[in-house]
Structure 1
């Protein structure tokens, strides 16, 4: 196996597990410890990993996440499939919350239920839902985050406390054993309050979010009721089973 192939394998392992040891590389790719260390050095020089004692982690805590519109274009087909599946779970007369996730935006586009009430702090999602005659929209006020096109702040969370809904569709910046994480505290605080206002929490996430720690923890995994993903890494399936989180995989490359 060429070094480039091993490096891709190492990055895939990190996306699924969050951390890798030199010994893991030796066992996975049948190479010596010196070869494994050279692979890590090269990945570190390319700023794709952060080396730790005896291994490496992904540099997710130090990287800038793409803007909302840029993220909407990334992994679009997978996100669209996840969104379409999530929309099937919205029924006539439901009351729902939607956060600012790009995957949740795809769900908003696919909603066909009638006589629903939707609450969101996303400008783009509110615009999408405004074209659907069967949806009544409540837009939360607050401070405008111009780059990512959402509203946040104390006014936003205070207004949320007036609502109680059936379902909450939320994205996930990162998922680890500790819980679900977002990049920013501003966005995360609003999502945390949304979780408290919903009877059922439905998380939409593509497979790259697993094993990915970020700055702000919004909830523990036991606060999630349902998870929809394109693919769930094998190591996560027993975790979800143990927590009794119902999970659904949409698959990759098929409708």
Structure 2
């Protein structure tokens, strides 16, 4: 494939998926990282993209995290399938922490009405879970992030210190060789403590999060036990997971968007 043809396809991919990483370009077009970076430089010079650390976004894409209520209406079928797979890992009697992400919210909606203890700092998760009579719900206190509906701060983290749970379900804005990242430091600090308090760490991330690095890193790949996603990632990322001993669960084994 000639470079100009590749550039057109890169722009088409960004328009459809909002962003692309260097690793994704390498996997999609079977080119080196140097070639991928040169492609992005050329597109940036044409003002067709905005380069970011590790990739690029559309010129019209705001790097700000979308308002939570807006994101609630855009929960995809992929996230719902990830949520179902995550919920299937829970057993009666489990103690579990759920973070604030919309993918984890999809998991909350799929939880069976059975004897379990759920801890969360999300007012949205708590509202969903309150309709399930047999669940015991602990809503963490703290300062309310009004825009995104989660509780954070030193009191939230201090309270988490008192809990030791079987599993934690964590959502991300980006997951890459740089680890697990989110857009808000205050959210990331709470997620970090949640991970410390759990025997098993399960990350829920649809394919659009893979290869992305956001503002604040709260964990490394080594901190994860299981990752659930909707499509088989590219070879490079799968190798990273294998090196860090992360078990990969894919909701649609036959679907491989990186081929």
TM range (shorter): 0.7 to 0.9
Q: Does 1:218 align with 2:218?
A: yes
Give, in angstroms, the shift of residue 18 of structure 1: 5.3
Check whether the contact 2:40–2:56 (CA below 8 A) recurs between aligned residues: no
Match of 2:192, SS state, is helix
- Gaps (5+ residues) in structure 2? none
Give, in angstroms, the shift of residue 97 of structure 1: 0.2
Give, in angstroms, the shift of residue 132 of structure 1: 0.4
CA 1:138–1:7 in structure 2 vs 1: closer, same or farther (change >3 Å)?
same
Give, in angstroms, the shift of residue 173 of structure 1: 1.3
CA 1:186–1:6 in structure 2 vs 1: closer, same or farther (change >3 Å)?
closer
Q: How does 1:72-221 map to 2 (within 5 A)?
A: 72-74=72-74, 76-112=76-112, 114-221=114-221
Give, in angstroms, the shift of residue 238 of structure 1: 1.3
Which residue of structure 2 lines up, in the alignment, with residue 250 of structure 1? 251
Please, what is the CA RMSD of the aligned residues? Answer: 3.2
Give, in angstroms, the shift of residue 19 of structure 1: 8.1
Mapped to 2, the partners of 1:109 and 1:164 lie a distance apart of: 23
CA 1:3–1:131 in structure 2 vs 1: closer, same or farther (change >3 Å)?
same
Give, in angstroms, the shift of residue 90 of structure 1: 1.0
- 1:148-180 residue CA offsets vs partner (Å, 9 max, x unmatched): 001111110011101000000110111111210
- Gaps (5+ residues) in structure 1? none
The TM-score with structure 1 as length reference comes to 0.83
CA 1:17–1:140 in structure 2 vs 1: closer, same or farther (change >3 Å)?
same
Check whether the contact 2:83–2:107 (CA below 8 A) recurs between aligned residues: yes
Aligned length: 242
Which residue of structure 2 lines up, in the alignment, with residue 50 of structure 1? 51
Which of 7, 15, 25 matches 2:11? Answer: 7
Match of 1:158, SS state, is helix
Give, in angstroms, the shift of residue 110 of structure 1: 0.2
- 1:71-102 residue CA offsets vs partner (Å, 9 max, x unmatched): 22335111001001100011100000000000
- 1:224-252 residue CA offsets vs partner (Å, 9 max, x unmatched): 00000011321211111121111111129
Check whether the contact 1:78–1:252 (CA below 8 A) recurs between aligned residues: no
Which residue of structure 2 lines up, in the alignment, with residue 67 of structure 1? 67
The TM-score with structure 2 as length reference comes to 0.82
Mapped to 2, the partners of 1:71 and 1:94 lie a distance apart of: 29
Match of 2:83, SS state, is helix
